[in-house]
Structure 1
Amino acid sequence: MIKKENVTFPVRELNDLEMKGQLFFPADFDSTKKHPAIVVNHPTSSDFNQTSGKIYATKLAQHGWLALAYDSPYQGQSAGEPHNSEIPFARTVGVIAAIDFLDTLDYVDHDKIGAMGICGGGGFTLNAAKIDKRIKAVAGVAPANVGMVYRETFGPNNDALIDTLNDMAQQRTAEAQGAAIKHIPVLPASQEDRIKAGITDVDIEQAIDYYLTPRGNDQYAPNQFVYTSLAFDFGYDPLALADKLATQPLELIVGDIPGSFASYRFAYEYYDRAATQDKELTVFSNTTHYDLYDQPEATDKAVTKLDEFFTAKL
């Protein structure tokens, strides 16, 4: 039986902003020994009560790993205002702060720390690993480049993207002068709204089924973003400098059914770009992005692959 412990730790790059998370302990945990550990980063618009903690950290602990799942700055139960902002720098230093926290624990083997993330959390974790070499092995499950996703969503062409940035600039000015913070929904509120909007993409359809139904809904993931925060994502690309800085052992896991979140495309791009020669791209057949969030067959296979990878590299 695994044990969970609530934890709190600061992000020094964000003026010691307080992050909340949970440590997942394997059944045979012994606090007098040194244990390798894995940081688990949640998807965009998510929190650790969902797939990162409920599925991946739990299953990794069942495989014998000490795992840390947490809520990123400005999201979930972690601090940060305006809340529900999606800021790539904050998401990246959140991974690094989680490793800072592990470095304070006597029972962690500080030379054997790995990191992984799901969806956007996968991209942010890969981004962190480029600059934090305490991460000795890194993995992404259905990893997404949210910069590319939001650029393509809001700017089907460059003029549209610049128009959106101009609108965000005007909104930010209004908020600086006292207007209310503008939030926008991450997803249509229902499948009916999706259909009315003419959206047929499999990732959006399954995201609604995951996030907005009892299957995955959580009070700390309210299906909204601070509108102006997405401007930071427009300028974000985890592929940048991967050919120079992505040097750790790398595992990328995706399904072969592509959608607008483009994890299939990004995984191939990152695999090709990464500087390391110690890398693997694992593609599960007949598997979607959201199958890798919580569907038993897909997640069991993913965790088995992660266990093999981290065992070999840590």
Structure 2
Amino acid sequence: MSAGLLFAVGLVSLALVALVAALWFGGPGPAPAMASINDPFKGSDWSGMPPLSRYPARDGVQLAYRYYGAEDKGAEDNKVRGSVVLVHGSSASSQSMHKMASAFSQAGYDAYALDIRGHGASGSKGTIAYIGQLEDELDDFIKVVAPSKPATLVGFSSGGGFVLRFAGSSRQTLFDNYLLLSPYLGPTAPNYRPNSGGWVRVGIPRLIALSILNSVHISVLNHLTVLNFALNEEATSLLTPSYSFNLASNFQPERNYQQNMRNVLGPCAVIAGANDEAFQTDQLEPELRRLGIRWPVTILPGIGHIPLTLEQGAIAAAVQAVHELAQ
């Protein structure tokens, strides 16, 4: 065997060893509990929260959501104003969107708060079968439940990133309008904070190794954990403490989030808090304008990340944004 061939074989062997080591040892470390994410939910009033309903996904699994029927229809013909479908943030479930869903119901909308697969009562926590499954199942939800028109898809944080992913896809016409609440855009976006301000720990070596494998269509190891969340002990037992590669890759925008934005053809708006500790929200509007996108952007003074879904003023801003999108 020639020296050149030996050298090449050696390099390949080293690369394989490094890849295996990254997969085996390169997972995420523990994330110390982040008080600003965990504490705002303490003492929340969950009274009036409807029970879980179910719809069948295309693989036969029954996925969960909560339905809040329109209360104040407010129109002469007594018809609902439309519908709002709410997508929670990372680690969370439909329960976290209870206050916002209730407000939309009171404003005359049929509201639906989803348990995205891998969360809450939908499937196995922390994982999904393939990248793209979440879009398929939102499609299934629309076809089975048939929310009233005009329909607005609202997403918070990572859920906002996923809503952007859907809004920029070929299925975007399934909804009439889109609202992004402090959306996660990815690690290359200008609103990104390292580790989302302390909310996540990323197994970067494993993430890179799995990305390399997926680039050559090898996805058999996509169930491996790549993200841990900064939950306290109580929340860890209730929520989703970690994500597999599949779920982490799907519950966010496409890697080229800018192209996602450019692909959105319908009405879309953005709301975030000025005191958001997870993302640099002051960078959202400049990024959109740099891309030539004129979506309305509202930055709410004094509002942090989780309070965006809990504080009455922030919720009222979201309801008003949906009113305006539907006009």
After TM superposition, is the score higher than 0.5? yes
Q: What is the aligned-residue RMSD (CA, Å)? A: 4.0
Matched, 1:42 2:42: no
2:105 to 54, 61, 83: 61
Identical columns (%): 14
Question: Gaps (5+ residues) in structure 2?
Answer: 1-46, 197-202, 214-218
Q: How do 1:1-314 residues align onto structure 2 when only pairs under 5 Å count?
A: 4=50, 6-12=52-58, 15-28=59-72, 34-35=79-80, 36-50=82-96, 52=97, 54-79=98-123, 81=124, 83-85=125-127, 89-103=132-146, 108-110=147-149, 112-131=150-169, 132-146=172-186, 148=188, 153=195, 164-166=207-209, 182-183=224-225, 186-188=228-230, 211-212=231-232, 217=235, 219-226=237-244, 229-230=247-248, 236-243=255-262, 245-266=263-284, 268-270=286-288, 272-273=290-291, 277=294, 279-294=295-310, 296=311, 300-314=312-326
**Partners of 1:139 and 1:252 within 8 A in 2:** yes
Normalised to the residue count of structure 2, the TM-score between the two structures is: 0.65
Task: Report the 3-state secondary structure (helix = DSSP H, G, I; strand = E; otherwise coil) of the residue aligned with 2:209.
Answer: helix
Residue correspondences, number: 263
Q: What is the alpha-carbon distance in structure 2 between the residues aligned to residue 63 and residue 271 of structure 1?
A: 31
Normalised to the residue count of structure 1, the TM-score between the two structures is: 0.67
Higher-RCO chain (CA-CA 8 Å, sequence separation at least 6): 2
Task: Report the 3-state secondary structure (helix = DSSP H, G, I; strand = E; otherwise coil) of the residue aligned with 1:283.
Answer: strand
1:283-308 deviation digits (Å, cap 9, x = unpaired)? 112322222133x2xxx222222222
**Partners of 1:39 and 1:99 within 8 A in 2:** no
Q: What is the alpha-carbon distance in structure 1 between the residues aligned to residue 49 and residue 225 of structure 2?
A: 36
Structure 1 residue 92: deviation in Å?
3.4
Task: Report the 3-state secondary structure (helix = DSSP H, G, I; strand = E; otherwise coil) of the residue aligned with 1:247.
Answer: coil
Distance 1:230 1:34, change over 3 A: same
Give the greater-gyration-radius structure (CA): 2
Q: Quick one: which amino acid aligns to residue 280 of structure 1?
A: P
**Partners of 1:49 and 1:218 within 8 A in 2:** no
1:82-105 deviation digits (Å, cap 9, x = unpaired)? x312776233344333332342xx
Match of 1:208 in 2: none
Q: What is the alpha-carbon distance in structure 2 between the residues aligned to residue 134 and residue 234 of structure 1?
A: 18
1:267-288 deviation digits (Å, cap 9, x = unpaired)? 653465475x4x2100112322
Question: Gaps (5+ residues) in structure 1?
Answer: 155-159, 189-210
**Partners of 2:91 and 2:229 within 8 A in 1:** no
Distance 1:227 1:134, change over 3 A: closer
Task: Report the 3-state secondary structure (helix = DSSP H, G, I; strand = E; otherwise coil) of the residue aligned with 1:4.
Answer: coil
**Partners of 1:92 and 1:125 within 8 A in 2:** no
Q: What is the alpha-carbon distance in structure 2 between the residues aligned to residue 268 and residue 16 of structure 1?
A: 43
Task: Report the 3-state secondary structure (helix = DSSP H, G, I; strand = E; otherwise coil) of the residue aligned with 2:317.
Answer: helix
